[in-house]
Homo-oligomer: A and B are copies of this chain.
Amino acid sequence: MTSQPAFKRADPDERRASLIAACARVLARDGAAGASVRAIALEAGVSPGLIGHYFGGVDALVAATYAQVETQVAAALDAAVAAAGSDPRARLEAYVCASLLPPIADSELLSTWIAFWSLVRARPEIASLHDEQYGRFRAGLAALLAEAGVPAPALRRTALAVTALVDGLWLELCLSPRTFGEGEAAAIARGSLSALISTARSAGSGNS
């Protein structure tokens, strides 16, 4: 029995990534209330002190986890759009539906996201992360809507409506997944998107 090392030194970036991943799992499993230093450290298989060492505190780790999850989601959306080819309408549908299908519409990822939402009100740095994320999503959506023929005056309200639709479906997909059948949320989004953009195209700059 040659005693094996009690721990191993990791590359700082890998260690940070591992802690962020553990934090995301804890947020998904127990919500924001369960994201304690000890719970995250246990999940990551390290000692509690490491979190302070790498992030300075648990709040900063949670914020870093938000940023990481958001980057991951944005990359998946971009990939879905790229894979959809060059047809404007197909690209738009890909952007919207990708949020509602695996791997984005994952139980763990959605739970993590709701935990972040619950922190927005009380934590200014989380609030600004949210504002940036929301703005990016809506800007990307507006660009695709414009390509798909939605006239400029209707762009803002259509983008806001579709964003709300996706967020709402996302929310319910997380809070009680059994509400929807396999892929039903994406199908609803596709149908609603169709209705919203055809109305926006014909109505032009109408005000309702």
Interchain CB contact under 8 A, A192 and B196: yes
Q: A134-B176, A165-B164, A165-B165 are in contact. Are A114 and B117 (CB under 8 A)?
A: yes
A74 adjacent to chain B (CB < 8 Å): no
In chain A between 88 and 143, which residues have their CB closer than 8 angstroms to a CB of chain B?
111, 114-115, 117-122, 127, 130-131, 134
Give Cα A196–Cα B200 distance, bound, in whole angstroms. 12
Residues of B within 8 A of A172 (CB): 134, 160, 163-164, 167
1/0 contact trace for A182-198 toward B, CB 8 Å? 00100111111011101
Interchain CB contact under 8 A, B199 and A33: no
Residues of B within 8 A of A171 (CB): 117, 164, 167-168, 171
A175 (CB) vs chain B CBs: closest residue: B120
A-B contacts besides A134-B176, A192-B196, A195-B196, 6 pairs, CB < 8 Å: A32-B118, A121-B174, A130-B176, A134-B179, A168-B169, A171-B171
Interchain CB contact under 8 A, A208 and B187: yes
Q: A32-B33, A114-B121, A117-B114 are in contact. Are A165 and B176 (CB under 8 A)?
A: no
